[in-house]
């Protein structure tokens, strides 16, 4: 519609004129309950900085318990735990992954003991922190073994559930693992433990700082030098989106309660399609590299860090994510409080 003078009657700028009106018409709002906070736990008593993730530290078990308490205070519903395993404890078969006395299990027990059910704990199911080669599965000749790995992942999921973890999150990308893990959990009496499947996990360049944090950059590099194939042989090709839907369909059929898309910010189309197609709880992981880019630019004064952080997470929700794993979780939650 135009006035005789040629001006439009519809001016979308009107609803952008006042802060209160922008707030009133906002389609997406971020709440602390949308966030999951990933934490690194190590065996040392003192925290250790992760140089490629400014503001993120590897924490002791006590430190992780305190962080979980802070999460509860901030209204962040859950933390995701990632163990940093001493290099001398890593083995070719990553057998420590299934030991109920490992760092991840001890941290889970410590959090549950202090906080009960006040905060959820999500644990990765994958062998990479525990293997000398840094892969998520067992190494065969020239390949990462699928079915043999799945058997180990089942035992890993059960020891984590025994320790008190309420959500196990297979991030390994082996075929068929969700169904087997569901069966193993049920057989162990863990009917109520959820499976959050990393259904669409891409072989991404954006995991670099995480691998520095857990020490798998070095193990992977050594393995690559020995001719071990890389994670592209099991994680998805970033070129593919239809394939992500097939991954999700399979994991849902196998019993996944929730699915994850990862990395988040470079997969907004995939998040959108997964949510629209399946309508099931869809989480997205804003990974270490996405975090590091914003932090690094902010440190140089090239970006307004807190604004960029909030916007990067808000648009992941707008794309369709029900919750977002992000290293910015506490900072964003404090800003919303
Ligand atoms: C490994 C795992 C990775 C991440 C979470 N679990 C890295 C990988 O696949 O090598 C990455 C998370 C991040 O970059 O923040 N099972």
Domain range annotation of the chain? 30-336
Query: From the alpha carbon of 201, which atom of ligand 1 is closest?
Result: 9
Indicate the pLDDT class of residue 26, thresholds 50, 70 and 90: very high
Please tell me if the CB atom of residue 290 comes closer than 6 angstroms to any atom of ligand 1.
Answer: no
pLDDT of residue 8: 85
Of 35, 36, 53, 78, residue with least CA distance to 211? 53
Please tell me if the CB atom of residue 156 comes closer than 6 angstroms to any atom of ligand 1.
Answer: no
- What are the tens digits of pLDDT across the range 245-272? 999 999 999 999 999 999 999 999 999 9
Average pLDDT of the segment spanning 301-329: 98
Distance separating alpha carbons of residues 65 and 71, to the nearest angstrom: 10
The pTM is what? Answer: 0.96
Q: What angle do CA 42, 79, 303 make, to 5 degrees?
A: 90
For ligand 1, atom 2: residue with the closest CA: 171
Indicate the pLDDT class of residue 6, thresholds 50, 70 and 90: confident
Q: Provide the pairing of β-strand 167-170 with 194-201.
A: parallel
The tokens describing 57, both together, are 């530290």
What's CA 24's distance to the chain center, in Å? 31
Please tell me if the CB atom of residue 287 comes closer than 6 angstroms to any atom of ligand 1.
Answer: yes
Please tell me if the CB atom of residue 98 comes closer than 6 angstroms to any atom of ligand 1.
Answer: no
pLDDT of residue 41: 98
The stretches of 188-328 forming alpha helices (DSSP H) are 208-214, 216-225, 242-253, 268-278, 288-299, 305-319
**Torsion-angle region of 22 (φ positive above 0: left; ψ -120 to 50: alpha; else: beta):** alpha
Q: What is the mean pLDDT of the chain?
A: 96
Residue 24 C-alpha to ligand 1 middle, in angstroms?
38
Average pLDDT of the segment spanning 67-79: 98
Whether 3 has a pLDDT exceeding 70, the answer reads no
Please tell me if the CB atom of residue 211 comes closer than 6 angstroms to any atom of ligand 1.
Answer: yes
Residue 2 C-alpha to ligand 1 middle, in angstroms?
54
Please give the CATH topology (third level) of the domain spanning 30-336: TIM Barrel (3.20.20)
pLDDT of residue 2: 60
Query: From the alpha carbon of 171, which atom of ligand 1 is closest?
Result: 16
pLDDT of residue 114: 98
Whether 1 has a pLDDT exceeding 80, the answer reads no
Whether 309 has a pLDDT exceeding 90, the answer reads yes
Distance separating alpha carbons of residues 147 and 7, to the nearest angstrom: 67
Catalytic residues: 201, 262
The phi, psi pair for 48, rounded to 5°, reads -130, 130
Indicate the pLDDT class of residue 13, thresholds 50, 70 and 90: very high
The tokens describing 198, both together, are 């990393």
Q: What percent of the chain has pLDDT over 90?
A: 94
Least confident of 53-67, 223-237, 295-309: 223-237
Whether 52 has a pLDDT exceeding 80, the answer reads yes
Its sign, for the CA torsion 109, 115, 116, 118, is negative
């Amino acid at each position: 519609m135009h006035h005789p003078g040629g001006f439009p009657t519809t001016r979308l700028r009107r609803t952008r004129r006042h802060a209160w009106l922008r707030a009133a018409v906002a389609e997406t709002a971020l709440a602390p309950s949308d966030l999951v906070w990933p934490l690194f736990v190590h065996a040392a008593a003192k925290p250790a900085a992760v140089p490629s993730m400014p503001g993120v530290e590897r924490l002791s078990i006590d430190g992780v318990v305190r962080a979980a308490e802070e999460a509860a205070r901030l209204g962040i519903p859950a933390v995701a735990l990632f163990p940093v395993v001493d290099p001398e404890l890593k083995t070719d078969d990553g057998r420590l992954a299934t030991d109920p006395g490992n760092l991840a299990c001890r941290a889970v027990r410590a959090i549950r003991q202090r906080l009960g059910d006040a905060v959820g704990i999500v644990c990765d199911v994958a062998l990479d922190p525990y293997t000398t080669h840094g892969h998520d599965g067992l190494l065969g000749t020239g390949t990462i073994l699928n079915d043999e790995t799945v058997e180990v992942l089942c035992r890993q999921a059960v020891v984590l559930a025994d320790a008190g973890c309420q959500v196990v999150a297979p991030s390994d990308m082996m075929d068929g693992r969700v169904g087997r893990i569901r069966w193993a959990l049920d057989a162990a009496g863990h009917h109520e433990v959820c499976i959050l499947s990393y259904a669409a996990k891409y072989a991404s360049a954006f995991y670099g700082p995480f691998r520095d944090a857990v020490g798998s950059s070095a193990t992977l590099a050594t393995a690559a030098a020995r001719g071990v194939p890389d994670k592209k042989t099991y994680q998805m090709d970033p070129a593919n989106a239809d394939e992500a839907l097939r991954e999700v369909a399979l994991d849902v059929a196998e019993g996944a309660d929730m699915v994850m898309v990862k990395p988040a910010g470079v997969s907004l189309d995939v998040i959108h399609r997964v949510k629209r197609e399946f309508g099931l709880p869809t989480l997205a992981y804003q990974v270490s590299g996405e975090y590091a880019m914003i932090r690094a630019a902010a440190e140089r004064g090239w970006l307004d860090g807190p604004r960029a952080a909030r916007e990067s997470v808000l648009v992941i929700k707008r794309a369709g994510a029900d919750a977002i794993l992000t290293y910015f979780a506490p900072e964003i939650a404090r800003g919303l409080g």
